[in-house]
Structure 1
Amino acid sequence: MDVEVGAEVELVSDVGLSNSFGVLADQPASAHALHDMDLCLATSFPASPAKSPPSKKTKKKTETTGELTDVLHAIQELSTKQDATFQKLISIENSTDATTKAVENLSLVVQKLVSDVNEHSEKMCRFARDITELQSSDKDVRSRIEQLERYSRRWCLKMHGVPETKNENLHSIVLNILENVAPDLRGKLSDALDVMHRVGRWNQDGGHRSIIVRFSTRSLRDVVWRAAKDNAYLKESHQRISEALIPADVAARAKLWPIVKKAREEELRKKLYFIYSIIAIRCTECLPEEWFCGECDVLRHKKQPLHNRECVIHGFFKAIPPTSYANKGEDGYRIHEQACISPTVKVPDCSCESTNFTVLPGKPVILITINGRFDLHQPLYVCQTCQHQWIPELKDLLRSGYWPL
């Protein structure tokens, strides 16, 4: 610093500048700040005037120095915040790297889980198919077992209400009862009775257990079963004989009996014979196709009412008249009554010469054939064009093969 000899040095300015330099020395200097400081130090100060400056200049320089100090403080705060921001960015970068690695690990885990789920899904599909096959096989096995048990019980009968005593001779008791039920079989039943025993555990309350009897021949069993129905001896002794049904058939009859009982109470027994889940009708004249379901039987025999048809009623084939047909309802098939029309040749007798006419049941008639009596109705023709009605004449009946009386 070059200063002229005898010049007055402004102490206030020097002190302020030194203070400013002191402040700069305390700050963490950046490259630009150090460069500015070097320029300030290299610059020579002007010579001080001979006279002291007025007080206003001193005040102005003091204010400038204070502003510089504020600026330096602001720069220091910004530098501190920038350092803190850099530290946060470094921390965020580190956490981002860790998160990326964790996501990659989770992606690998998810891929493995997806692979395991696909493998388990395939196994579950195989298990489901195996279970379905096993259920179907189990159903078939159960059905076959029931059929075998049902077939084996066709040689058996069940006796109820027979008094029970200790050390009883069951063969003699059963033989005596059956000989009274079917007197015509005396001398044959002794060899026909194969096995018999009480059913269930001993009842200490005085109740009598049922007896199941197995016959050696099915024909004798059927004779006894028919003789036991409405038998006076059984009614007097308060005993009864029933079929030895399997539990499934017992449950089915127990479920069906309230419906039949209700039908009897409502006096509908004449219109309802039985209720079936599946019905089969056999026609002895529709060979070679003799078996029909309920719907096909109606379609086939609506115009063939004279065919001999049979239906399974109570487990046996029973002839059904042409006035009966099977109709499917919500609870199964029911056998209902219908009006059958006697088949005749077509008798077009309308003035409008229309071929659009319907055939309705007309006057009731009785037809006697070699197969028996048939309760039918004479056809009533109705023209749909002019609403004209007519019935077959005598010549038409003769042409149809009938001989009116």
Structure 2
Amino acid sequence: MKEVKSLKEPNVKLENRAADLERKTTEMERYKKRWNLRLNGLKEKQDENTRELTVDLLKIVPPWKDKIDWILDTVHQLGKPTDHPHQIIMQCTARIYRDELWRLIKLHPICMDLILCFAEDLTKDDREARRAVWPKVEQARKEDLKAMFRGSYAYIDGQRVMP
């Protein structure tokens, strides 16, 4: 019995340390993804360069037409090219550029015509958290209430929604 007690205390400390490291890792991942945007719906062919295709699309934003190569750091496609579009992750050189780019392009007529959707690049945990409260957000929007997401949290009329 004495051995079990002597092992229990270090085990609790290790569990707490592991939980703390997991929380810190998740926060670091969230922080890193703040520079990213996801692009859904862009059709590609097998041998096309994803970066060039994305840069050409983003040149529709007049103030940044000549700077878009500098504003986009990295661009890559999730998955392999097939007949249906894959998500594209665009990493900007600064968050201010990402936020402004998203604001300018998400409702651009060309993007609407091509049925392109821009979204935040969320962590897996954040996507699951949003998925859990989506039915409540959807219902609130049908009732004409102000419903929105901020990170992994949903708010309806300013009140945080729990799953």
- What are the residue-to-residue correspondences of 1:356-395 with 2, within 5 Å? none
Secondary structure of the structure 1 residue equivalent to 2:22? helix
Secondary structure of the structure 2 residue equivalent to 1:168? coil
Match of 1:217 in 2: 94
Secondary structure of the structure 2 residue equivalent to 1:158? strand
How big is each residue's C-alpha offset from its partner over 1:320-365, in whole Å with a ceiling of 9 and x where there is no partner? xxxx885x89x48xxxxxxxxxxxxxxxxxxxxxxxxxxxxxxxxx
Q: Is the 8 A contact 2:44 2:81 kept in 1?
A: no
1:218, distance to aligned residue in structure 2 (A)? 2.1
How big is each residue's C-alpha offset from its partner over 1:297-320, in whole Å with a ceiling of 9 and x where there is no partner? xxxxxxxxxxxxxxxx725xxxxx
- Pick 1 or 2: higher relative contact order, CA cutoff 8 A, min separation 6: 2
Match of 1:185 in 2: 64
- What are the residue-to-residue correspondences of 1:79-158 with 2, within 5 Å? 121-158=1-38
Determine the C-alpha separation between the residues in 2 that align with 1:254 and 1:147: 19
**Structure 1 length normalisation: TM-score?**
0.36
Match of 1:196 in 2: 75
Match of 2:116 in 1: 239
Secondary structure of the structure 1 residue equivalent to 2:85? coil
The 1:268/1:218 distance shift into structure 2, 3 A limit, reads closer
Tell me, yes or no, if structure 1 residue 269 matches structure 2 residue 145.
yes
Look up the equivalent residue of 2:53 and give its one-letter code: I
**Structure 2 length normalisation: TM-score?**
0.84
Q: Is the 8 A contact 1:228 1:240 kept in 2?
A: no
Determine the C-alpha separation between the residues in 1 that align with 2:113 and 2:131: 26
Unaligned runs of 5+ in 2: 152-156
CA RMSD of aligned residues (A): 2.4
Determine the C-alpha separation between the residues in 2 that align with 1:247 and 1:325: 25
Q: Is the 8 A contact 2:46 2:81 kept in 1?
A: no
Look up the equivalent residue of 1:228 and give its one-letter code: I
Unaligned runs of 5+ in 1: 1-120, 275-312, 316-323, 333-405
Look up the equivalent residue of 2:68 and give its one-letter code: L
| Equivalent residue pairs, number | 158
Determine the C-alpha separation between the residues in 2 that align with 1:162 and 1:134: 46
